[in-house]
Amino acid sequence: MVHPSPLGSPLPVALAAALLLILLLSSACRGSEYEYLSWKSDGYSNGGGLGGGRGYGKPPQCVAIPDDLRLCYDVGYSQMLLPNLLDHETLAEVKQQAGSWVPLVYKSCHPGTQVFLCALFAPVCMDRPVYPCRWLCEAVRDGCTPIMEAFGFPWPDMLTCDRFPAGDVCIAMTAPNATEATKATGFSQICPPCDNEMKTDAILEHMCASEFALKTKIKEVKQENADRKVVLQKRRKPVKLGNLNKKELKKLVLYLKNGADCPCQQLDNLNSHYLIMGRKVDKQYLLTGIHKWDKSSKEFKMAIKKLKTHKCPTFENVF
């Protein structure tokens, strides 16, 4: 249980921050340790979250994090506040919106990505809503924006870092002066659409970030400014056309966004057939996934089998 300090005075900043760190980073936390205490906060109860400021029909409550909330189920605590800090009022809404961000965590663009996102999607139960620190937002944003841009997605306005507290009590992961050191930890230098070559989940996640997919060979690869231009062979078998018509398919040329310098093993071998995925951003078609067409791979066969029935998250930001 989290208790207010004696005589109703606020907890000292250092003590509150230390308490938050213990709650967030201890993997041994159990649901019984988090008992929701009601509070009166005009900003929160009147819709003061980041998601648009709508009024709530029911008071905040503490609920168990369901095991199918993949983004936050293993974050280090077992209960969350609902409505959350993005104004999601039901677990169904939380799961739908949070599902789109799971691939970004797996891309390992910053070690604090899950802590930052779960502080908003599944906030820890405290006697008041506590937001992530501004510097943590900035570190995650700077580390993950290149990954997101590779798939044609900008950093969303609802996560503008100026909205988060720069000091006082906020959710952190490491000291601010360690931002640069931690930002590179675990980061994959492989071009984002080219990593996890034969992982079923990765193939499906790339598909969810794509508008179309096809089976084809690559004719040539050229560098064009900071991008790589991928020219396809004429024979192209559609797997998923989306809004792509036959005329567009015939003229299709893909670009690996900001991919001039990052490794992509698949683009080094032009003799193989590939499952190639993409989406249109402005007037360009971006390469969002490329996997060798290998029916001898159980992972690949499973992904192809699931493609027709796999349900992608509906929120626009899927990575």
Is residue 123 within 8 A of residue 85, CB to CB? The reply is yes
State the pLDDT confidence band at 36, using cuts at 50, 70 and 90: very low
Residue predicted with more confidence, 195 or 251: 251
195: left (phi over 0), alpha (psi -120 to 50) or beta: beta
Beta partners for 99?
Answer: none
Q: Enumerate residues 6+ apart whose C-beta is below 8 A from 131.
A: 85, 119, 120, 163, 164, 165, 170, 171
State the pLDDT confidence band at 71, using cuts at 50, 70 and 90: very high
What's the confidence (pLDDT) of residue 120?
Answer: 96
- Which pair of tokens denotes residue 157? 């306005």
- Which pair of tokens denotes residue 48? 């003061």
What's the confidence (pLDDT) of residue 127?
Answer: 82
Residue predicted with more confidence, 190 or 233: 233
Residue predicted with more confidence, 303 or 29: 303
The Cα-based distances of 172 to 36, 104, 118 in angstroms read: 21, 19, 12
Please tell me the CATH code under which domain 192-307 is placed: 2.40.50.120
Q: Which residue has the tokens 């921050």?
A: 17
The mean of the pLDDT values for the chain is 78
Helices (H), 99-133: 102-106, 113-121
State the pLDDT confidence band at 269, using cuts at 50, 70 and 90: confident
State the pLDDT confidence band at 43, using cuts at 50, 70 and 90: very low
| Residue 142 in this model has a pLDDT that exceeds 80 | yes
What's the confidence (pLDDT) of residue 287?
Answer: 94
Is residue 319 within 8 A of residue 148, CB to CB? The reply is yes
- Top CATH class of 10-39+47-183 equals mainly alpha
What's the confidence (pLDDT) of residue 246?
Answer: 86
Average pLDDT of the segment spanning 215-220: 95
Average pLDDT of the segment spanning 248-273: 92
Is residue 33 within 8 A of residue 64, CB to CB? The reply is no
DSSP 83: S
What's the confidence (pLDDT) of residue 242?
Answer: 87
3-state helix/strand/coil string of 246-266: HHHHHHCEEEECCCCCCCCHH
State the pLDDT confidence band at 214, using cuts at 50, 70 and 90: very high
The Cα-based distances of 159 to 69, 120, 140, 156, 206 in angstroms read: 20, 10, 11, 6, 23
Give per-residue pLDDT as tens, 95-137: 988 888 988 888 888 999 999 999 999 999 988 889 999 999 9
Residue predicted with more confidence, 195 or 41: 195
| Residue 302 in this model has a pLDDT that exceeds 80 | yes
| Residue 55 in this model has a pLDDT that exceeds 80 | no
| Residue 37 in this model has a pLDDT that exceeds 80 | no
Kindly state the percentage of the chain with pLDDT values over 70.
Answer: 75
Q: Which helix (H) or strand (E) holds 274?
A: strand 274-281
What's the confidence (pLDDT) of residue 312?
Answer: 77
Domain limits, CATH 1.10.2000.10, in the chain: 10-39+47-183
The Cα-based distances of 227 to 145, 191, 259, 284 in angstroms read: 16, 11, 5, 11
| Residue 82 in this model has a pLDDT that exceeds 90 | yes
Is residue 4 within 8 A of residue 52, CB to CB? The reply is no
Domain limits, CATH 2.40.50.120, in the chain: 192-307
